[in-house]
Structure 1
Amino acid sequence: MKQLHSIEELDQFIGEGGKRLLFKHSTVCPISTAAHDEYQAYLQGADIPAAMILVREDRPVSNEVESRFGVKHESPQIFLIDNGEVKWHTSHWKITKQAIGEAVNA
């Protein structure tokens, strides 16, 4: 999983096409830590490009996701992006290994 630090890295990640997962994570939030664990658990058995944005450390990138996709910022938050479009997103306790798998396989 790659960490995105700039809007250029976000552009490159999204521009590569196909299905990919993007996770917005707050390192100071226990709910986000639990969601991050679920995300990591899903990725262990998955073959899908994945990235993460640390919302406090890389705020401009996090804000760009909200602006670009028109999805209100939450943290934690996950997006399934397919060919540059958000196909699914959720946040907080709804981020589970099972929910991610169901979204990717839908």
Structure 2
Amino acid sequence: MKQINNETQLTEALNNEGLVFVLKHSTTCPISQAAFEEYQKFSQEHPELDCYFLTVQDARPLSSYIAEQYHIKHESPQAILFKKKDVNWHASHWKITNSSLSTVLKENA
């Protein structure tokens, strides 16, 4: 799992033609902390995947850019799956679980 903080880092991450997961999370929200732990577990179980995260408080411009550029309402926590540089799936709050991430991975592999 790698942290990203700006548009350049996101663009570099999305240059991979495969699947790219991004988690937007808040350091002050307990729901976000739970989602982060689920995402972290998923990432550890799938080291072959490109898994990134951003902390909304530290990367607000990037968080806003993702919402505007990809036409998805900003939420935190929010997991996003990019496939070939496009958003293929996203979920928020309690829907971010290791199980849901694993299911979407199987559906898009």
Same fold (TM over 0.5): yes
Amino acid at match of 1:76: P
- Per the alignment, residue 19 of structure 1 pairs with 19
Greater alpha carbon shift after TM alignment, 1-10 vs 93-102: 1-10
CA distance, structure 2, for counterparts of residue 3 and residue 37 of structure 1: 14
CA distance, structure 2, for counterparts of residue 84 and residue 52 of structure 1: 16
Superposition CA RMSD, Å: 0.7
Q: Is 1:92 matched up with 2:104?
A: no
Aligned residue runs from structure 1 range 68-87, under 5 A = 68-87=69-88
Deviations 1:28-87 (CA, angstroms, capped at 9, x unpaired): 000000000000111111121010011111100101110111000000000111110111
Q: Is 1:8 matched up with 2:14?
A: no
- Per the alignment, residue 28 of structure 1 pairs with 28
Following superposition, the deviation at residue 14 of structure 1 comes to 1.2
Q: Which runs of 5+ in 1 are unaligned?
A: none
TM-score (norm 2): 0.94
CA distance, structure 2, for counterparts of residue 52 and residue 42 of structure 1: 13
Equivalent residue pairs, number: 106
Q: Which runs of 5+ in 2 are unaligned?
A: none
Moved over 3 A (4+): none
